[in-house]
Chains A and B, each alone.
Chain A
Amino acid sequence: MTKTVFFGAVAAAAVLGSTGAYAAEGDTLRTVKQRGELICGVNPGLVGFAAPDANGNWSGFDISLCRAIAAAVVGDPNKVRFVPTTGQTRFTALSSGEVDVLTRNSTWSFQRDTELALDFPAVNYYDGQGFLVRKDLGVTSAKELDGATVCIQTGTTTELNLADYFRANNITYQPVNIDSNAEGEQQYLAGACDAYTTDASGLAATRAAFADPENHIILPEIISKEPLAPAVRHGDNNWGDIVRWTLFALVAGEEYGVTSANVEELSKSSTNPEVQRLLGQTDNLGGMIGLDAEWAKRAIMANGNYGEIFAATIGEQTPIGLARGLNALWTQGGLMYAPPFR
């Protein structure tokens, strides 16, 4: 009996040991190239950002970034696997090595950047926390929500903002903890909570999926800064650089007018030196991060530049109808700014 237990323990230890060593393996780029496939941690279902359609094909704003990275690294935007992660499991999935990169509208915060040992290479959506309520509730400001029941996704920064905001304004609320956006939607529609709070973009996306979106409003108060960014493990700087500059390549693409339609042509004919460097005609920038010269060209070809992705997934022409706002290019009064490619 003792012996059986002992061998069991040894076997378990061996399994734990091997997976542990794998997770700690520093070179994510080598792992991804060897595997020939990129694994992205994504939202389990938030229309516009990451949601599978009836055939199981994922699409959305975060999905497009993941595909662009796959195109840059593996060479094919379809060589990706999406792992749905909840607010609770996402960082564990990343730090345990289950996913290579988290493209899951996660807020960049001090504690996550430092104590959780993550890195947020660059912001891909500047957001803030808002409240969604029924129109017939007669509420026009979040400050009128005294005594309300509020649905909140547990394990998010919004949970902490909510507590701070109501305390600061000296009003009370009753939290209802939920685990995913789908559960929040169901509880909110069933009337189990008066208001649903999360990032304003997430609220717009959730509302767009309602049967009667016109009967719900997003309150004007934005109570926090939520810079949503992809996340990678701390310590693998080269991999962080790849994610960061892939995102910047998409932003720079919009700035220089490089679209999915003209990228092929521009890569041969462009005379703009910045575009020539970006698309790999000169200076082989890709070689400096362990990729080939045409990495950025493939990233833009995958889903288009940042502006194209925004317009196709969450922009004003889509049911979600988000304005560019803070996420416009710096040349148009927004915060999207790619450092020079040289």
Chain B
Amino acid sequence: MTHLQPAEHQPFRLSMLIYDRRYRSLTIQAVVFIAVMLAGAWLVHNTLENLARMGKTFSFSFLWARAGYDIPFSLIPYTATDTHFRALVVGLLNTLLVSFIGCILATIVGVIAGVLRLSNNWLVSKMMTVYVEIFRNVPLLLWILVILAIFTEVMPSPRDYKGDNAAASMILFDSVAPTNRYTAVPRLAMESPPEPLTIAGTPISGTLIAFGGALLAAYLIFRWVRRRATDRQNATGRRPATWWIGLLLFAVPLAALMLLFKVHLIPPKLTGFNFTGGANLDNGFVVLVLALTLYTGAFIAEIVRAGIMSVSRGQSEAAFALGLRARPTMGLVILPQALRVIVPPLISQFLNLTKNSSLAIAVGYPDLRATLGGTTLNQTGREMEAMMLMMGIYLALSLLISAAMNVYNARVRLKER
């Protein structure tokens, strides 16, 4: 009777890499990994080689050269003498602004439309169906162009406000002037603003500190008040009213600060070619936010509807049996349970909205695609570098949004104990 040696005691032979099942999968993985890496390296090498053959080098030094072009809409100070890098940052901030506002508004629109679509009121639910279907099934670019055309063709030009027999007149007590370039609105200004505070050599706006501090303090105190109210409710079964404390906490300090700094409104005035004095909300920005909101809102409405429908009907019946009315049932019972179904697809809608904001080029809004991927790319001729940089930035942005939303998702997920 031959004695079988245990396999692990066999001396290792090279052929075992293929014929031994324990090693085979490792071998295949290693080979594929090396091949993929080689292919990648070859692609990069090929690109550099071809660039060199066209007489082009691969370098990001263009970012530090003078940009030389103006950007119509900027959150940070920028002039044509600044660098391409600063133009990139201006574009990135504009992208973030549109995406941030778009995500918030789209969520609001989407939740309202999604809930109303389930309404028992026939007219309301059918209207929401029409909204969802027409926005969801027409390409976003077309919506952007349609809304832009409405703004440029229907609105009066600033010159129409000129003269005694003006063709157009300002609305809302002569404070708002919609035009085909922008909507001129009044601007908040302070007569005696607080001095900036210098911390470690960097001046920080006194206004920001004063108002930010007041809001933060109000929020923290209000949280404590609400926690006490909850304790009280747990102890006695009756919840004391807290809404008026909150109102006072937020409104009184703000009003006091506004009186102290003599905050007032500056209405827009037509001087020369354009309205000045107030703030001019660029039509490109308004159109983009509007289109992104309505388009993404339609998708979010469907997600919300699916989430709500995933909560079993017994839940709302139980809530009604406990004497809850329709609104508390939705807010306290249905939506919290629906959220765990809603949040994961909501993340991808936020990502879509952020990436879709690059359609800003169609309305002349200077986002990242328009500054770095448009004018900078063109003026410097650095297609490869600008494109790679832009892809990297959008990738990082999407991953960040995704990470933040995953944290939120973990909080609303069904807790299994």
Contacts and interface: CB of A to CB of B under 8 A. Distances in A.
Interface of A: 2-3, 5-6, 9-10, 12-13, 16-17, 20-21, 23-24, 87-88, 91-92, 95, 111-112, 115-117, 137, 145-149, 154-156, 159-160, 162-164, 167, 173-179, 187, 190-194, 233-235
Given A5-B36, A192-B152, 20 more contacts: A2-B32, A12-B43, A13-B43, A21-B50, A87-B378, A88-B374, A115-B381, A148-B274, A149-B274, A155-B377, A159-B69, A160-B68, A164-B68, A167-B81, A174-B181, A174-B274, A175-B71, A176-B181, A190-B152, A191-B157
A182 to B, nearest CB: 14
B390 to A, nearest CB: 14
B43 A234 contact: no
Contact of A192 (B56, B180, B276): B180
B133 interface: no
Given A117-B54, A163-B68, A187 B152 contact: yes
Given A88-B378, A176-B364, A191-B159, A16 B152 contact: no
Interface string B356-397: 000001001010001000110111110100000000000000
B70 A163 contact: yes
Interface residues on B, range: 35 or more
B312 interface: no
Given A163-B68, A192-B180, A147 B274 contact: yes
Given A149-B274, A177-B366, A115 B50 contact: no
21 contacts: A2-B36, A5-B36, A13-B43, A88-B374, A91-B378, A91-B381, A95-B56, A111-B380, A117-B55, A147-B274, A149-B181, A167-B81, A175-B72, A176-B181, A177-B370, A178-B364, A179-B361, A192-B157, A193-B181, A233-B54, A234-B55
Contact of A190 (B42, B153, B274): B153
A21 B53 CA distance: 9
Contacts of A24: 50, 53-54
Dominant SS among interface residues on chain B? helix
Given A6-B39, A149-B274, A176-B364, A17 B381 contact: no
Contact of A163 (B69, B153, B361): B69
Contacts of B379: 111, 155, 159-160
A13 B42 contact: yes
Contacts of A5: 36
Contacts of B53: 24
A156 B46 CA distance: 30
Nearest to B154: A190
A137 B272 CA distance: 10
Nearest to A21: B50
A16 B42 CA distance: 11
Contacts of A17: 42, 46
A173 B276 CA distance: 12
Nearest to A117: B55
Given A16-B46, A164-B80, A176-B72, A190 B180 contact: yes
10 A-B pairs with the lowest CB-CB distances in the bound complex, closest first: A155-B378, A191-B157, A117-B55, A163-B80, A116-B381, A20-B50, A24-B53, A148-B273, A147-B272, A160-B68
Nearest to A17: B46
Contacts of A2: 29, 32, 36
B1 to A, nearest CB: 45
Contact of A146 (B81, B180, B272, B366): B272
A154 B36 contact: no
Nearest to A118: B381
Contact of B375 (A21, A148, A154, A192): A154
Nearest to B157: A191
A98 B415 CA distance: 58
B47 interface: yes
B196 interface: no
Contacts of B276: 147
Interface in B270-284: 271-274, 276, 283
Contact of A160 (B29, B36, B69, B71): B69
A147 B273 contact: yes
B40 interface: yes
Contact of A9 (B36, B366, B377, B383): B36
Given A148-B273, A235-B55, A154 B378 contact: yes
A190 B157 CA distance: 8
Contacts of A178: 364
A92 to B, nearest CB: 6
Nearest to A145: B273
A3 B32 CA distance: 7
Interface string B117-159: 0000000000000000000000000000000000011000101
A155 B69 CA distance: 10
B35 interface: yes
A320 B43 CA distance: 49
Nearest to B62: A115
Given A179-B361, A192-B180, A112 B366 contact: no
A3 B36 CA distance: 9
A177 B80 contact: no
Contacts of B71: 175
Contacts of B54: 23-24, 95, 117, 233-235
Contacts of A149: 181, 273-274
Contacts of A162: 70
Contacts of A21: 50
Contacts of B271: 147
B270 to A, nearest CB: 11
B72 A10 contact: no
